[in-house]
């Protein structure tokens, strides 16, 4: 085998590219590169097993560090989220990932195929259950698990792991609240509510972030919004007296603010959202102010290796997910980029939802040194005479536990 053929094939997968696209590019330039049969054979025997071994090595290091943390009497906080391989409801794969809230590293993932669950929607619960069971079986002491408001995951946690605190991601809840308020304010008589929407969603974050785990305080501060928005900043509830946490308003500020009348349609529409029983019940699982934004960032970078509109085989999908994890874990907590003068760099964006310009930080470029290690591992595997070069099935059982579908699938 020509060494260049092996390295070209490895670089295609390690960069998240597609062999079909690269082959078209090479044919246009009349440049020979490995054809389909040769590429997929090298991927099966050398490239995918290399990725699996590199992922396993990193995974075991993370588990070892977490076990040492738990041995000192501490617990770990995890965030979990699912990512399907299709933007529609006909997904074939669902990848459920668990992230350590302290280090922002991906601790574990589960790849579920649709034939392993009753439907595409049920794949999320299957991945969550497998992943959490695996981490607990490894000996990790999990204190908090943060997910979105999936009814199936909520029920599973309530019935099987009541000792683990289950929190909801605030961003998903705030997004739903904002959507309801925008629908209410779209009418003519409820239009005054529109300019309060951003402040209301900010108050939801404040209510969760300032409660410090106290569920009653979280719900109380959220419902106090109804008093503030109607111009009442000091009120009584039973034998207790409460005040707004903001500084006292001047007479001019009080006069200029467009408060909502308690009998107006806008206020009544807001009241129906704030006092919603389901929302207040969910606030009990949001008092720790947990977010899964780091998982959303990881899922965005995962598109580089596994596009949603491209179909991959099971082994290929698993290997590309492992590459995305290696890339993510190698670049967590990147510092913000600076100018030559040492000033922090920002970029200005105009999100349609916020309807105003926002300054966002620019981070330093990602480091891709892990790819060099993978390329060297591929060469070492080729030079290893003990490697079975006819099939990679012998290496499938060597990677971190993954529940591969049966042969009939």
Over residues 348-399, the pLDDT tens digits come to: 888 776 667 888 888 888 888 999 999 999 999 999 887 765 444 444 334 4
What's the CATH superfamily of 3-169+291-331+366-396? Ribonuclease H-like superfamily/Ribonuclease H (3.30.420.10)
**225-264 pLDDT tens trace:** 999 998 888 888 777 788 888 888 888 888 888 889 999 9
Q: Do the Cβ atoms of 131 and 108 come closer than 8 Å? A: yes
Query: 390 versus 44: which is more confidently predicted?
Result: 44
Residues of the chain with pLDDT > 90, as a percent, come to 66
Residue 237: what pLDDT? 77
Query: 254 versus 325: which is more confidently predicted?
Result: 325
Residue 256: what pLDDT? 84
Average pLDDT of the segment spanning 337-358:
83
Give residue 88's pLDDT band: very low, low, confident or very high (50, 70, 90).
low
* Mean pLDDT of all residues belonging to the chain: 88
* Three-state SS sequence of the chain: CCHHHHHHHHHHHHCCCCHHHHHHHHHHCCCCCCCHHHHHHHHHHHHHHHHHHHHHHHHHHHHHHHHHHHHCCCCEEEEEEEEECCCCCCCCEEEEEEEECCCCCEEEEEEEEHHHCCCCCCHHHHHHHHHHHHHHHCCCCEEEEEECCCHHHHHHHHHHCCCCEEEECHHHHHHHHHHHHHHHCCCCCCHHHHHHHHHHHHHHHHHHHCCCCCHHHHHHHHHCHHHHCCCCCEEEECCEEEECCCCCCCHHHHHHCCCCCCCCHHHHHHHHHHCCHHHHHHHCCCCCCCCCHHHHHHHHHHCCCCCCCCCCCHHHHHHHHHHHHHHHHCCCCCCECECCCCCECEEEECCCCCCCCEEEECECCCCCHHHHHHHHHHHHHHHCCCCCCCCCHHHHCCCCCCCCCCCCC
Average pLDDT of the segment spanning 167-174:
93
- Cα 13 from Cα 6, distance rounded (Å): 11
Average pLDDT of the segment spanning 30-53:
94
Q: At residue 111, what are phi and psi to the nearest 5 degrees?
A: -105, 115
The bridge status of strand 142-147 relative to strand 76-84 is parallel
Q: Do the Cβ atoms of 63 and 74 come closer than 8 Å? A: no
The bridge status of strand 142-147 relative to strand 165-168 is parallel
Residue 334: what pLDDT? 85
Residue 387: what pLDDT? 72
Q: At residue 285, what are phi and psi to the nearest 5 degrees?
A: -110, 25
Residue 164: what pLDDT? 95
Give residue 89's pLDDT band: very low, low, confident or very high (50, 70, 90).
low
Residue ranges of domains in the chain: 3-169+291-331+366-396, 174-283
Residue 16: what pLDDT? 93
Supply 161's token pair: 């792991």
**171-191 pLDDT tens trace:** 999 999 999 999 999 988 999
Q: At residue 287, what are phi and psi to the nearest 5 degrees?
A: -70, -15
Q: How many CB atoms lie within 10 A of CB 341?
A: 5
Residue 30: what pLDDT? 94
- Cα 171 from Cα 79, distance rounded (Å): 13
């Amino acid at each position: 085998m020509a060494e260049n053929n092996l390295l070209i094939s490895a670089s295609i997968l390690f960069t998240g590219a597609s062999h079909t696209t690269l082959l078209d590019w090479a044919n246009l330039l009349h440049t020979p590169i490995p054809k389909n049969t040769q590429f997929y054979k090298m991927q099966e025997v050398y490239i995918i097993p290399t990725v699996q071994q590199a992922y396993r090595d990193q995974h075991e290091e993370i588990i070892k560090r977490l076990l040492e943390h738990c041995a000192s009497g501490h617990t770990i906080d995890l965030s979990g989220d699912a990512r399907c391989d299709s933007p529609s409801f006909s997904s074939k794969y669902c990848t459920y990932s668990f992230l350590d809230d302290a280090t922002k590293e991906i601790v574990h993932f589960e790849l579920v195929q649709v034939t392993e669950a009753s439907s595409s929607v049920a794949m999320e619960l299957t991945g969550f259950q497998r992943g959490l069971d695996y981490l607990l079986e490894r000996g990790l002491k999990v204190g908090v698990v943060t997910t979105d408001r999936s009814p199936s995951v909520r029920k599973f946690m309530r019935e099987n792991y009541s000792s683990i605190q289950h929190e909801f991601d605030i961003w998903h809840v705030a997004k739903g609240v904002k959507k309801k308020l925008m629908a209410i304010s779209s009418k003519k008589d409820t239009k005054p509510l529109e300019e309060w929407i951003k402040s209301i969603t900010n108050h939801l974050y404040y209510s969760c972030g300032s409660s410090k785990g106290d569920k009653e305080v979280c719900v109380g501060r959220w419902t106090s919004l109804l008093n503030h928005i109607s111009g009442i900043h000091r009120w009584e509830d039973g034998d207790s007296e409460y005040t707004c946490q903001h500084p006292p308003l001047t007479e001019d500020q009080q006069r200029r603010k467009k408060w909502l009348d308690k009998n107006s349609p806008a206020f009544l529409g807001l009241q129906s959202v704030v006092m919603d029983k389901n929302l207040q019940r969910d606030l009990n699982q949001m008092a720790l102010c947990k977010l899964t934004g780091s998982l959303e960032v990881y899922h965005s970078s995962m598109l580089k290796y596994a596009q949603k509109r491209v179909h991959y085989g099971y082994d290929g999908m698993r290997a590309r997910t492992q590459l995305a994890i290696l890339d993510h874990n190698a670049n967590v907590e990147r510092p913000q980029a600076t100018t030559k003068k040492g000033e922090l760099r920002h970029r200005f964006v105009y999100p349609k939802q916020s309807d105003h310009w926002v300054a966002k930080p620019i981070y330093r470029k990602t480091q891709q040194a892990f790819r060099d290690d993978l390329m060297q591992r591929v060469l070492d595997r080729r030079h290893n005479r003990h490697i079975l070069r006819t099939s990679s099935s012998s290496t499938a059982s060597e990677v971190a536990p993954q529940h591969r579908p049966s042969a009939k699938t």
